[in-house]
C-alpha cells in the first residue's frame, strides 16, 4: 500500500512540474478568436506577459513587460457601462486589449477586442468570441496585484 501511495504522489508531483506556465505566474485573461487563435495576459509581481497565437501551440507573439511599462485604464465609465483596457507597447506596435461591460442590459454582457496600433492608427481589430473569455482584464490591475515593486 505504501508503494502505491509513493507512486501516486510522485505522479502528481511530475504532473505539476510539467503544468507550470513558462510566461508568468498567473493567467489573468484569455479568449479565443474567430481565426482559431488565443489572446492571453499573464502576470506576476513585476511583469505582464501578452501572448497571441494558435490554440494549443507555441504562441506566435510573446511580449513580456515590466508592469510599470504597461498602460492600464480600468473601470472607466463608458456610456452605459464600464470599459477596461490594457495597452502593451512593442517597438512600433501597440497591442490594446479593451473589454466593455454593458451595465444597461439585463445580461450585463461584455465585448472584448484587441486593437493592433501603429503610429496612432488602428491597423486591425480582432474580437474575442463571446463566452470564450476566461478571467478579466481588471485582474491585472496593479492595485489588485498589490503595490508595484
Q: Give per-residue pLDDT as tens, 91-101.
A: 999 999 998 87
- Partners of residue 122 on adjacent β-strands: 117
102 occurs within a structural domain: yes
Distance from the first to the final alpha carbon of the chain: 48
Residue 32 lies in a domain: yes
Within a domain: residue 147?
A: no
Residue range(s) defining the domain that contains residue 74: 24-140
3-state secondary structure 15-53: HHHHCCCCCCCEEEEEEEECCCEEEEEEECCCEEEEEEE
Q: What is the pLDDT of residues 16-26, one digit of tens each?
A: 333 444 555 78
Q: Is residue 9 situated within a structural domain? A: no
Judge whether 146 lies within some domain: no
What would the pLDDT profile of 11-54 be if each residue is shown by its tens digit? Answer: 433 333 334 445 557 898 999 999 999 999 998 889 999 999 99
pTM score: 0.73
Asked if residue 93 belongs to a domain, the reply is yes
Q: Which pLDDT score is estimated for 25? A: 77
What is the number of domains present in the chain?
A: 1
CATH value at residue 88? 2.40.128
**Given the DSSP bridges, would you call strands 47-54 and 37-43 parallel, antiparallel or unpaired?**
antiparallel
| Residue 3 within any structural domain of the chain | no
Kindly give the pairing relationship between strand 47-54 and strand 61-66: antiparallel
Burial 128-147 (b: 16+ CB within 10 A, else e): beeeebebbbbbbbeeebee
Amino acid at each position: 500500500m505504501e508503494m502505491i501511495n509513493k507512486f501516486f504522489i510522485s505522479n502528481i508531483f511530475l504532473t505539476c512540474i510539467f503544468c507550470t506556465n513558462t510566461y508568468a505566474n498567473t493567467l489573468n485573461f484569455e479568449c479565443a478568436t474567430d481565426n482559431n487563435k488565443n489572446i492571453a495576459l499573464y502576470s506576476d509581481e513585476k511583469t505582464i506577459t501578452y501572448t497571441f497565437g494558435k490554440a494549443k501551440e507555441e504562441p506566435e507573439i510573446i511580449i513580456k513587460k515590466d508592469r510599470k511599462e504597461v498602460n492600464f485604464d480600468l473601470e472607466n465609465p463608458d456610456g452605459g457601462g464600464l470599459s477596461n483596457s490594457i495597452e502593451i507597447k512593442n517597438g512600433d506596435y501597440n497591442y490594446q486589449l479593451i473589454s466593455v461591460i454593458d451595465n444597461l442590459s439585463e445580461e450585463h454582457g461584455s465585448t472584448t477586442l484587441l486593437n493592433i496600433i501603429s503610429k496612432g492608427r488602428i491597423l486591425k481589430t480582432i474580437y474575442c468570441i463571446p463566452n470564450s473569455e476566461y478571467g478579466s482584464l481588471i485582474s491585472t490591475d496593479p492595485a489588485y496585484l498589490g503595490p508595484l515593486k
